[in-house]
Amino acid sequence: MSLPHAILTALLEKPSSGLELTRRFDKSIGYFWSATHQQIYRELGKLEAEGLIRALPAEQPARGQKKSYEVLPAGRAELARWTAAAQDPKPQRDVLLLRLRAAAVVGTAGLEADLRRHLELHRRQLAEYREIEKRDFPPGRDAPQDRLRHLVLRAGIDLETFWTQWLTHALAEFAELPDTD
């Protein structure tokens, strides 16, 4: 149910076409809620059919022109309802952790190299988030909307920090393990 709400959020921030939404997802919302181009277009159709958004009138009628969408009052109300609703955290599901558990019974062949690869990926993501923070949230930028957006980014920074620390610890443990392959 969250993809429609992610789209409503993005459209409230700025009316956009499906292609623009896809690009914006890749640069912001996609860091924590990903969606394909097809999923976004499918949801736009559903949201429009439900009366939550509408296509903006084209400035000049043209065949094949991309539609831009805006949120209607019903869409804003739905997003406000969803935002205010209580929601329990989802259980953690991580393939890497499951693979580590499986390695305890079948051996660790290939796993240390993948842990190193994961560590590098998380380090790169952390560096990217820190660059975004430096660029988009300089000292003194503390409007309520900015503070909430920064809070979301801080969650990403904290998660990547956790993963880099945990993977560093896991690799240290691997160095001490007897060969179980």
Q: pLDDT by residue (tens digit) across 66-82?
A: 889 999 999 999 999 99
Rounded to the nearest angstrom, the gap between the alpha carbon of residue 129 and the centroid of all alpha carbons in its chain is: 12
The whole-angstrom distance between residue 126's C-alpha and the CA centroid of its chain comes to 14
Confidence tier at 65 by pLDDT (50, 70, 90): low
Model pTM score: 0.81
DSSP letter string, 21-86? HHHHHHHTGGGTS---HHHHHHHHHHHHHTTSEEEPPPSS--TTPPPEEEE-HHHHHHHHHHHHS-
- Phi, psi dihedral angles at 7 (to 5 degrees): -70, -45
The residue assigned the tokens 């380090």 is 123
Reported as half-sphere exposure (CB side, CA atoms, 13 A), residue 12 has a value of: 17
Q: Quick check: 63 pLDDT over 70?
A: no
Q: What is the pLDDT of residues 117-168, one digit of tens each?
A: 999 999 999 999 999 999 999 988 889 999 999 999 999 999 999 999 999 9
- Reported as a pLDDT band with limits 50, 70 and 90, residue 24 is confident
Average pLDDT over residues 94-109: 92
What is the pLDDT at residue 128? 95
